[in-house]
Structure 1
Amino acid sequence: MRRMLWWTAVLLAFVLNSSASEQLPLIAPIFGNNMVIQRGITNTIWGWVTPGTTVEVVLLGHAYGSVADTNGLWKVRFRPPDVAEPFNVKVIIGGTNAFMFTNVVVGDVWVCGGQSNMEFPLRLARNGEEEVKNANYPEIRFFKVRNQPAYEPRSIVQGSWRVCSPASVVEDGGLSAVAYFFARKILTATNVPIGLIQVAVGGTPVETWMSEEAVRETKEFEIALQELVRLRSKQVPEYGNYVMHWYDEYDIGQRHPAWHLLDFDDSDWKSVNITNAFSVLGVSDTPALCYFRKKVVLPEPLPGKPAVIMLGVIERMDTTWVNGEWVGASAWVENPRRYMIRPSILKPGTNLIVVRVLKTRPDGGFKSDSSSLKLVLGDGTEISLAGEWKAKVAVDARPPHPLPYSYENWPVIPTVLYNGMIAPLRGLSVAGFIWYQGEANVGRAKQYRKLMETLIYDWRRTFNGDQLPFYMVSLAAFLPRRDNPGDDAWAELREAQAQVAYSVTNCGLAVAIDVGDANDIHPRDKKEVGERLALWALAGYYKLPVVASGPLYASSERTNGAIRIRFHNTAGGLIVRGSDKPAEFWIAGADKKWHRAEAKVEGETVLVWSSAVPEPVAVRYAWQANPEANLYNKAGLPAVPFRTDDW
């Protein structure tokens, strides 16, 4: 024990004295207690020591050695034995000083990537409380990579391996529900231990998860990459977005003394109401950044539960502080602002609320009625925030004053999440990838197909496997259902996902069109999604006789004023759920005008027609953001939305 404590001090000294801008540990943090080592192939463990130092890895009676290179990087390669029980791994540095990793297992490691629907925690999923209570699977291990945007490739990630238990799946924000259900189904079917590496950040477009080399290959983001190079050269904080750098450069309210602080003197500020604020400030028709301050008096005692501040819809971005402490910020225009306030922030008596608003349109700023602005205490008591506020312009951004390249206050700059969260894992041995992302790329479907194909190649190259399986989720239904959808950006994005999944080798598509929520971009039905991803893994990677795909459009033919659609992957036939006939088929003639169609299942085909279209030429199925999709195969998997036209 004394030797181990001594060597820990040596480790800390090495880290603190590292001459590199990034402090490097003796052993990369992706390795540790409870980890899963990829079975069946050569693995690599690595870290950093003094150049020329010998390093030895010992497991199950076998020793594997290496020597650190001129940069201090050491790598030890080994092929793990096929064992069922947990074991220890010893790393010996310099011949005498050892680290011991305990409770290590050999199994399959899956990287779980994407945005908020992959990040969505198990505790919030459908029946989440019960699922958490039953999440006792010691053969499932997971490593949540801490969010880390970076402007250059990093060497290490932050996080630790955890054994799946009711306690661990709710720690640190919680384990991904999709990843959990994926792992549980595979474990149940194969008895192979599963390791999950979660790399997911809400709101992030696909290009943030690609290497700079890969992004440049697409030739899609030249201006964005030029800005990245500029920011990198200035050695600025690595926010991962553009708007925070804009604030740093132009917002005088951030300078000393900062305008959101309790003791800031706002006596010379103008008095405004939210409804006329920007007009009074003289910036009603121009982009501007403005601060608003309001004092509210709260009773004693205060409830011990969290409070919520509601600010309605704001164009374009807000940042909110209470008593000098940040409580929330958003650039999602359509989303009414609702921020939780910890009990420790509020106090009896006078409290200060500060809202910074960056508006870009003449009708921008506070969009909701002033009656919707309120502070709701933990016991439900409502305090109106209507009436008088103090306000001042921080930036009058009328042309030619520059505006941010984009307004999102989360990572959106190409490459930044690859640099911070994927690059440090380069060379790690894994079984494959699951991916739930795309909402942030809606409206860019044609580009998305190119980007996804490039990302898959990029990740396979990063993890040293040009055929590693990659299974993705097709976007779930969302937004109000339309009676006459026509063209639809969500449908086009799903089409791009399907084109990638069915054209790139070793890919698959888990369709989630039937488990969405019109009012929530984060549907709670994650069990179906995770298990449908697992079906692809069971069929493709584990070679089990299971059906993974729903019906997939194969061909069409015109017949007597109708169009007959043929499908792949019918699993013995087509079925309709919740009705006696297929819904959400649309048909058009040469005039390209779409009409809701009649449809019926005939064996493994669907016949589609409409009396309004006597000479049909094209059919669409489930072609809107939130369709009534009720066509399945006999394995119970939903049909992939499709169109026969290219209009």
Structure 2
Amino acid sequence: MKLKLSISVVLFTLFVRTDILKANVSLPAIISSGMVLQQQTQVSLWGKAKANTKVTILTSWNQKLHTLSSSKDGSWRLSVLTPKAGGPYKITFNDGSKLVLEDILIGEVWLCSGQSNMEMPVKGFGNQPVLNSNDILTEAEEPGVRLFRIEKKMSKTPQTELNAKWENTNASTVKEFSAVGYQFARILQQRLKVPVGIIQSAYGGTDIEAWMDLKSLTGFNDFKIPADTAKSTKNDPGVLFNAMINPIIGYSIKGTIWYQGENNRFNSHSYDKKMAAMVKFWRGLWARGNWPFYYVQIAPNVYKDVADSIPLLYEAQSRAMVLIPNSGMAVSVDAGSMKTIHPPDKTIISKRLAYWALNKTYGKTGITYMGPVYKTLKVTGGKAILGFDEIPNGLTAYDKPLISFEISGSDKVFYPAEATISGKTVVVQNDAVKSPVAVRYAFKDRFSGNLYNTEGIPAQPFRTDNW
């Protein structure tokens, strides 16, 4: 009996010692080999080790050794300074056992988020293609771009774990990644000539409220709060923030691109304020100041449930640019589809988001990012003459007739209108309206637009009235 007990004690001791020898620092999924770290800033590294244990962290770009102690629960966090873009580098963690992260690049890091038009992968959805997807995949093998795709999930409580990993770009990985997010990152990598990491956190058919928490939704009363016992759905307040944003809070990013809104067309009156509240909430948690937030104004489409709900959302999205510091809106009124809510041309959307980033974030001031913005209405002899801002070199429809203009008199009845470019104005008329009072442009769900400044950026839908 004593012999058996002694053997058991020895085996237990060996097991414990083996366990100690194998103990490693554990890291969140987003901090791993192959990652991209934001250049020339203080980036956060965090994880867990044994409780109250010394942890050393060696960064190879400056050969600096950092020493800290884990807390009672084993958690630790460290801020390290990154150099100019470059790599690959290594980071070595040691709490008695080494953990080495390799193939780390330093460059620019962006988050792409929203609903299905951001989620839509390069391969497309079923029977819904992405324009030129095979050409995009043919050119996908670019070592300067790295992908981190967060799985779709939800949670009633804030989570810290993810089932995701950093990946190199090739046809197999890119085909599964956001077409907008990947192409945006690729444009930045080509133009800036630095590594770019892009983090995808998107979930189709979701409300903005799901990407916020209840505290950030204080003051809004146009959404439902489910009972504690109710089964979670992807549109419950906070469930996507908890599962798909909270785990990456603190990972240094340069900015965010956002493509969402279709699901909020039923409560569009508050959408601008919710966007502003969401961005303020996220920025506050990141504690990195007002990083750039660039987003897409959704495209026209025929909605059968609530007719002409989209124009009010257009306006809310436009107002959000005033409410959100360091933000910008990419217009897609010319890039929609009447057959699907998922327009196939994701390249033009990526480019227009990149125009904002290249000019406003990276200082390439020669690049135009805004289209014509309605400014004035003047009525002369039965004609409505519209003036615009953001047209330094004038207007164009690329040799095609202007479409989707409507005109009304004081009776508030709108008629399809003939519209022509005259110098830096647009002249709108219809013989049935002798005394024009109001003009609308692309102000129906199904109306596309084709008014541009000469730099090729489209005018957003607008109306001169407030009826």
TM-score (ref. length: structure 1): 0.65
Quick check: 1:559 aligned with 2:380?
yes
Quick check: 1:138 aligned with 2:143?
yes
Is the contact between residue 187 and residue 354 of structure 2 (CA under 8 Å) also seen in structure 1?
Answer: yes
Residue 621 of structure 1 and its aligned partner are, at CA, apart by: 0.5
Please give the residue correspondences for 1:151-190 in structure 2 after superposition, counting only pairs within 5 Å.
Answer: 151-170=156-175, 174-190=176-192
Please give the residue correspondences for 1:577-616 in structure 2 after superposition, counting only pairs within 5 Å.
Answer: 577=398, 579=400, 581-616=401-436
Cα shift readout 1:191-211 (whole Å, capped 9, x = no counterpart): 121111100011011110012
Q: In the aligned structure 1, how far is the partner of 2:19 from the partner of 2:104? A: 24
Residue 603 of structure 1 and its aligned partner are, at CA, apart by: 2.0
Question: Aligned partner of 1:99: which letter?
Answer: L
Is the contact between residue 480 and residue 519 of structure 1 (CA under 8 Å) also seen in structure 2?
Answer: no
Q: In the aligned structure 1, how far is the partner of 2:50 from the partner of 2:220? A: 39
Q: 1:460 to 1:137 in 2, by over 3 A?
A: same
Q: In the aligned structure 2, how far is the partner of 1:163 from the partner of 1:217? A: 43
Cα shift readout 1:8-42 (whole Å, capped 9, x = no counterpart): 9535xxxxxxxxxxxxx821111111101011221
Is the contact between residue 385 and residue 428 of structure 2 (CA under 8 Å) also seen in structure 1?
Answer: yes
Question: Aligned partner of 1:595: which letter?
Answer: Y
Residue 64 of structure 1 and its aligned partner are, at CA, apart by: 2.4
Please give the residue correspondences for 1:83-94 in structure 2 after superposition, counting only pairs within 5 Å.
Answer: 83-92=85-94, 94=95
Please give the residue correspondences for 1:444-459 in structure 2 after superposition, counting only pairs within 5 Å.
Answer: 444-459=267-282
Residue 219 of structure 1 and its aligned partner are, at CA, apart by: 4.3
Question: Aligned partner of 1:197: which letter?
Answer: I
SS of residue in 2 equivalent to 1:149: coil
Q: Which residue of 432, 437, 440 corresponds with 1:617?
A: 437
Please give the residue correspondences for 1:188-337 in structure 2 after superposition, counting only pairs within 5 Å.
Answer: 188-221=190-223, 224-225=224-225, 227-231=226-230, 240-241=232-233
Residue 218 of structure 1 and its aligned partner are, at CA, apart by: 3.1
Q: In the aligned structure 2, how far is the partner of 1:57 from the partner of 1:538? A: 34
Quick check: 1:467 aligned with 2:290?
yes
Which residue of structure 1 lines up, in the alignment, with residue 65 of structure 2? 63
Cα shift readout 1:401-452 (whole Å, capped 9, x = no counterpart): xxxxxxxxxx110110001111122222110000111111112211212211
Which residue of structure 2 lines up, in the alignment, with residue 494 of structure 1? 314
Question: Aligned partner of 2:435: which letter?
Answer: E
Is the contact between residue 471 and residue 501 of structure 1 (CA under 8 Å) also seen in structure 2?
Answer: no
Please give the residue correspondences for 1:112-127 in structure 2 after superposition, counting only pairs within 5 Å.
Answer: 112-124=112-124, 125-127=130-132
Residue 466 of structure 1 and its aligned partner are, at CA, apart by: 3.1
Residue 645 of structure 1 and its aligned partner are, at CA, apart by: 1.4
Q: In the aligned structure 2, how far is the partner of 1:148 from the partner of 1:7? A: 34
Q: In the aligned structure 2, how far is the partner of 1:86 from the partner of 1:133? A: 25
SS of residue in 1 equivalent to 2:216: helix
Which residue of structure 2 lines up, in the alignment, with residue 359 of structure 1? none
Question: Aligned partner of 1:240: which letter?
Answer: S
SS of residue in 2 equivalent to 1:183: helix
Residue 462 of structure 1 and its aligned partner are, at CA, apart by: 2.2
SS of residue in 1 equivalent to 2:184: helix
Residue 537 of structure 1 and its aligned partner are, at CA, apart by: 0.4
SS of residue in 2 equivalent to 1:167: helix
Residue 62 of structure 1 and its aligned partner are, at CA, apart by: 1.3
Q: In the aligned structure 2, how far is the partner of 1:143 from the partner of 1:30? A: 8
Which residue of structure 2 lines up, in the alignment, with residue 635 of structure 1? 455
Residue 609 of structure 1 and its aligned partner are, at CA, apart by: 2.1
Q: 1:562 to 1:504 in 2, by over 3 A?
A: farther
Residue 578 of structure 1 and its aligned partner are, at CA, apart by: 5.6
Q: 1:428 to 1:219 in 2, by over 3 A?
A: farther
Q: In the aligned structure 1, how far is the partner of 2:194 from the partner of 2:330? A: 22
Is the contact between residue 206 and residue 437 of structure 1 (CA under 8 Å) also seen in structure 2?
Answer: yes
SS of residue in 2 equivalent to 1:595: strand
SS of residue in 1 equivalent to 2:218: helix
Which residue of structure 2 lines up, in the alignment, with residue 29 of structure 1? 29
Cα shift readout 1:565-617 (whole Å, capped 9, x = no counterpart): 222222411001362x3211111122211111121112222122222222222
Q: Which residue of 220, 236, 239 corresponds with 1:416?
A: 239
Which residue of structure 1 lines up, in the alignment, with residue 6 of structure 2? none
Which residue of structure 2 lines up, in the alignment, with residue 100 of structure 1? 100
- 5+ residue gaps, structure 1: 12-24, 232-238, 242-410
Q: In the aligned structure 2, how far is the partner of 1:183 from the partner of 1:168? A: 14
SS of residue in 2 equivalent to 1:434: strand
SS of residue in 2 equivalent to 1:547: coil
Question: Aligned partner of 1:554: which letter?
Answer: K
Q: In the aligned structure 2, how far is the partner of 1:80 from the partner of 1:466? A: 18
Residue 501 of structure 1 and its aligned partner are, at CA, apart by: 2.2
Is the contact between residue 49 and residue 74 of structure 2 (CA under 8 Å) also seen in structure 1?
Answer: yes
Q: Which residue of 432, 435, 442 corresponds with 2:255?
A: 432
Q: In the aligned structure 2, how far is the partner of 1:603 from the partner of 1:54? A: 71
Question: Aligned partner of 1:436: which letter?
Answer: Y
CA RMSD of aligned residues (A): 2.1
Is the contact between residue 43 and residue 429 of structure 1 (CA under 8 Å) also seen in structure 2?
Answer: yes
Is the contact between residue 300 and residue 448 of structure 2 (CA under 8 Å) also seen in structure 1?
Answer: no
Question: Aligned partner of 1:607: which letter?
Answer: V
Q: In the aligned structure 2, how far is the partner of 1:619 from the partner of 1:491? A: 14
Is the contact between residue 516 and residue 523 of structure 1 (CA under 8 Å) also seen in structure 2?
Answer: yes
> Greater shift after overlay, 61-70 or 193-202?
61-70
Cα shift readout 1:204-250 (whole Å, capped 9, x = no counterpart): 111100123212343444xx33x25444xxxxxxx631xxxxxxxxx
Q: Which residue of 560, 573, 584 corresponds with 2:394?
A: 573
SS of residue in 2 equivalent to 1:620: strand
Q: 1:592 to 1:528 in 2, by over 3 A?
A: same
How many residues are treated as equivalent by the alignment?
441
Q: In the aligned structure 2, how far is the partner of 1:44 from the partner of 1:164? A: 25
Q: In the aligned structure 2, how far is the partner of 1:7 from the partner of 1:135? A: 43
Q: Percent identity?
A: 32
Q: 1:139 to 1:603 in 2, by over 3 A?
A: same
SS of residue in 1 equivalent to 2:357: helix
Quick check: 1:550 aligned with 2:371?
yes
Residue 454 of structure 1 and its aligned partner are, at CA, apart by: 0.9
Q: In the aligned structure 2, how far is the partner of 1:578 from the partner of 1:627? A: 19
Which residue of structure 2 lines up, in the alignment, with residue 381 of structure 1? none
Residue 7 of structure 1 and its aligned partner are, at CA, apart by: 7.5
Is the contact between residue 89 and residue 100 of structure 1 (CA under 8 Å) also seen in structure 2?
Answer: yes
Cα shift readout 1:121-180 (whole Å, capped 9, x = no counterpart): 11221121221121011111110111120101112222000111223213xxx0100011
Q: In the aligned structure 2, how far is the partner of 1:168 from the partner of 1:424? A: 22
Q: In the aligned structure 2, how far is the partner of 1:604 from the partner of 1:586? A: 19
Is the contact between residue 51 and residue 74 of structure 2 (CA under 8 Å) also seen in structure 1?
Answer: yes
Is the contact between residue 372 and residue 457 of structure 2 (CA under 8 Å) also seen in structure 1?
Answer: yes
> Greater shift after overlay, 30-39 or 581-590?
581-590
SS of residue in 2 equivalent to 1:214: coil
Question: Aligned partner of 1:640: which letter?
Answer: Q
